Amino acid sequence: MTEAFDALSRTVRTAARALGRHGLVHAYGHCSARIDADTFLVAPSRPLGLVTPDDACSVVSLTGPLPEGVLPEVRIHREIYRLRPDVGGVARVQPPKTMSLSVLGLTPVARHGFGSYFHPQPPLWDDPLLLRSDEQAAQLAMQLGDARAIVMRGNGAVTAGESLQAAVVLAWYLEDASRVELDCLSTSIAPTRFTEAQSQTRATWNGRLLERMWDYLTAGDPESAD
């Protein structure tokens, strides 16, 4: 294996554990990083919080069937990478507040800084059943469009970023936006929202915003120092 492949494998495993550590996944969930135009690297098929530095990630092609042992919903990643050459990382997560909001048929509106990254709000995949076909995965990727996240009713969410680090950070942002939305729904006060111009200005990675949140989410990880 090349040094670059080894480094990407460490990033995928580190991302997996970060998602588990911060409650963004539980026994289910997966994450991946693009290798090149034709392949991507997906986390081991086990609870992400239990991934170890010795676990091997799996290489998946954008063409052909999923490799043996790779989780069925990884086909979502494949379809997003096919449709979105700008995407370098995907996270399939089950954030609890996002889940609660989704069963109301809602997704978080851009009301604060973290929510602005999904302006005006993430699309809702309005099907609560498990996604198990290539056709469904392609439809979900098309509904995602150029958004950074799509919420799956009663079934979590998918985030897509220019890197896996970004996808993980966006998963945390999405959950915080859902927290704010649920808090607003619990009051009788009409909440404010970001305008499109405000969101375009606020949804930035300048000032090391991405790196700082990644450092926070991966602090203490056995492979983060690498």
Q: Which amino acid is at 66?
A: L
pLDDT digits (tens, 9 = 90+) for 87-121: 999 999 999 999 999 999 999 999 999 999 999 99
| pLDDT of residue 226 exceeding 60 | no
- Largest Cα separation within the chain, whole Å, is 58
CA 18 – CA 38 distance, rounded (Å): 26
- Which candidate, 20, 39, 11, 55, places its Cα nearest to that of 166? 11
DSSP state string for 162-205: SSHHHHHHHHHHHHHHHHHHHHHHTSSSPPP---HHHHHHHS--
Side-chain half-sphere CA neighbours of 142 within 13 A: 6
Cα–Cα distance for residue pair 20/50, rounded to 1 Å: 8
Length of the chain in terms of residues written: 226
pTM: 0.97
| CA distances (Å), origin 212, targets 11, 128, 215 | 16, 34, 5
- Supply the DSSP symbol for 105: T
pLDDT in tens, 147-169: 999 999 999 999 999 999 999 99
Report how far residue 118's alpha carbon sits from residue 128's, in angstroms, rounded to the nearest whole number: 22
Distance CA 179, CA 22 (A): 14
64 confidence band (pLDDT: 50, 70, 90)? confident
What distance in Å separates the CA atoms of residue 224 and residue 23, rounded to the nearest whole number? 18
**pLDDT of res. 1:** 61
CA distance 108 to 91: 18
